[in-house]
Chains A and B, each alone.
Chain A
Amino acid sequence: MGTNAGYNSDMIPNVQVIEHPGEVRLRLRAATPGDLALVAGRALAELELGRAPGPAEGVSREIVVQGRDREAVLVHWLNELIYLAEVDRWVGVEFTVQEATETELRVRARGITVDEAPSRVKAATFHGLRIASVTDGVEADVVLDV
Chain B
Amino acid sequence: MRYFYEIPVTAQPGMRVPARVYADDELWEQIGHDRSLAQLKNVATLPGVTGAVYGMPDMHEGYGFPVGGVAAMRLSDGVVSPGGVGYDINCGVRLLVSDLSAEAMRAKLADLVHELARSVPSGAGRSGRLVLTEPELDRVLAEGCRYLVERDFAQSEDIEVIEAHGSLAGADPAAVSARAKTRGHDQLGTLGSGNHFLEVQVVDELCEVTAAHALGLTVGQVTVLIHTGSRGLGHQVCTDYVRLMDEVMPGYGITLPDRELACAPIGSPEGQRYLGAMCAAANFAWSNRQVITHRVRGVFRRFFGAEGALRIAYDVAHNMAKLEQHGGERLCVHRKGATRAFGPSHPETPERYRSVGQPVFIPGSMGTASYVLVGTDEAMGLSFGSACHGAGRRMSRHAAKRTKPGHEVRRELEAQGIVVACPSSGELAEEAPFAYKDVERVVNVVHRAGLARKVARLRPLGVVKG
* Interface contact A17-B398, CB-CB below 8 Å: yes
- Minimum CB–CB distance from A83 to chain B (whole Å) comes to 6
Task: Count how many pairs of residues, one from A and one from B, have CB atoms less than 8 Å apart in the complex.
Answer: 112
What chain B residues lie within 8 Å of A21 (beta carbons)? Answer: 34, 36, 60-61, 393-396
Question: Contacts A122-B124, A123-B238, A127-B260 hold; do A19 and B398 have CB atoms under 8 A apart?
Answer: yes
User: Contact: A119 with B393, CB < 8 Å?
Assistant: no
Evaluate whether A3 and B398 lie within 8 angstroms (CB atoms) in the complex, with A23-B62, A127-B258 already known. yes
CB distance from A6 to the nearest CB of B (A): 13
Docked Cα-Cα span, A124 to B445, in Å, equals 33
Complex interface bits, A13-44 against B, C-beta within 8 A gives 1, otherwise 0:
00001011111100000000000000000000
Q: Which residues of B contact A23 (CB under 8 A)?
A: 62-63
- In the complex, the answer to whether A126 meets B259 with C-beta atoms within 8 Å is yes
B226-261 with Cβ < 8 A to chain A:
232, 235-236, 238-239, 242-243, 246-247, 258-260
B207 CB, nearest partner CB in chain A, Å: 29
Q: Residue among A50, A85, A122, A146 with the most chain B CB within 10 A?
A: A122
Q: Which of chain A's residues 102-146 have a Cβ closer than 8 Å to chain B?
A: 116-120, 122-123, 125-129, 143, 145-146
Contacting pair A129 B259 (CB below 8 A): yes
- Assess the A50–B232 pair: CB atoms within 8 A: no
Contacts of B236 in A (CB 8 A): 83
Does B67 reach chain A (CB closer than 8 Å)?
Answer: yes
CB neighbours of B262 from chain A (8 A): 126
Q: Which of B183, B238, B247, B397 contacts A24 (CB 8 A)?
A: B397
Interface digits, A57-88 against B, CB 8 Å rule (1 contact, 0 not)? 00000000001100110011001000101110
Verify if B213 is at the interface (C-beta below 8 Å from A). Answer: no
**Which residue of the partner chain A has the closest CB to B234?**
A122
B51 CB within 8 Å of chain A: no
Tell me how far the C-beta of A82 lies from the nearest C-beta in chain B, rounded to whole angstroms: 8
Task: Determine if A19 and B124 form an interchain contact, defined as CB atoms under 8 angstroms apart.
Answer: no
Contact yes or no, A22 B67, CB < 8 A: yes
CB of B327, distance to nearest CB on chain A (Å): 31
Of all chain A residues, which has the CB nearest B127?
A: A117
> Per-position contact with A for B5-35: 1 when CB-CB < 8 Å, else 0?
0000000000000000000000000000010
A83 touches B179 (CB 8 A): yes
Is A117 a contact partner of B62 (Cβ separation < 8 A)? no
Measured CA separation A116–B60 after assembly (Å): 31
A-side contacts of B239, CB under 8 Å? 79, 123
Identity of the chain A residue whose Cβ is nearest the Cβ of B258 in the assembled complex: A127
Q: Does B64 contact A (CB under 8 A)?
A: yes
Closest to A129 in B: B259
| Shortest distance between the CB of A55 and any CB in chain B (Å) | 23
Is residue B399 within 8 Å, beta carbon to beta carbon, of the partner chain? yes
> Does any Cβ of A come within 8 Å of B182's Cβ?
yes
Inter-chain CA distance A19–B394, complex, in Å, is 11
In chain B, positions 55-74 with a C-beta closer than 8 Å to chain A are: 60-64, 67
Question: Given A85-B125, A145-B63: A126 and B87 within 8 A (CB)?
Answer: no
Q: How far is the CA of A21 from the CA of B33 in the complex (A)?
A: 10
Residue of A nearest to B247 (CB): A68
Name, among A22, A50, A119, the residue most crowded by chain B CB atoms within 10 Å (CB to CB): A22
Instruction: Please name the residue on chain A nearest to B65 by beta carbon.
Output: A127
Chain B residues positioned under 8 Å from A5 (CB to CB): 402
Query: CB within 8 A of B125: which of A19, A119, A126, A145?
Result: A119
Which of A17, A68, A87 is B246 in contact with, Cβ under 8 Å? A68
Distance of A143 Cα from B124 Cα, bound (Å): 18
Encode B67-90 as 1/0 by CB contact (under 8 A) with A.
100000000000000010001100
Residue of A with least CB distance to B36: A21
B120 to chain A, nearest CB (A): 16
Q: Are A117 and B243 in contact (CB under 8 A)?
A: no
Q: Is the Cβ of B393 less than 8 Å from the Cβ of A22? A: yes
Q: How far is the CA of A123 from the CA of B259 in the complex (A)?
A: 15
B63 and A127 within 8 A (CB): yes
Q: A21-B60, A21-B395, A143-B63 are in contact. Are A128 and B235 (CB under 8 A)?
A: no
Known: A86-B183, A117-B124; 13 extra A-B contacts, CB below 8 A, are A19-B396, A20-B34, A21-B36, A21-B396, A50-B424, A72-B243, A75-B243, A87-B179, A118-B124, A120-B124, A126-B83, A127-B83, A129-B260
Give 8 CB contacts A-B under 8 Å. A19-B399, A20-B34, A21-B393, A22-B67, A83-B179, A86-B183, A125-B64, A145-B63
The 3 closest A-B CB pairs, nearest first, are A117-B125, A127-B63, A119-B125
Binding site for B on A (CB under 8 A): 3, 5, 17, 19-24, 50, 67-68, 71-72, 75-76, 79, 83, 85-87, 116-120, 122-123, 125-129, 143, 145-146
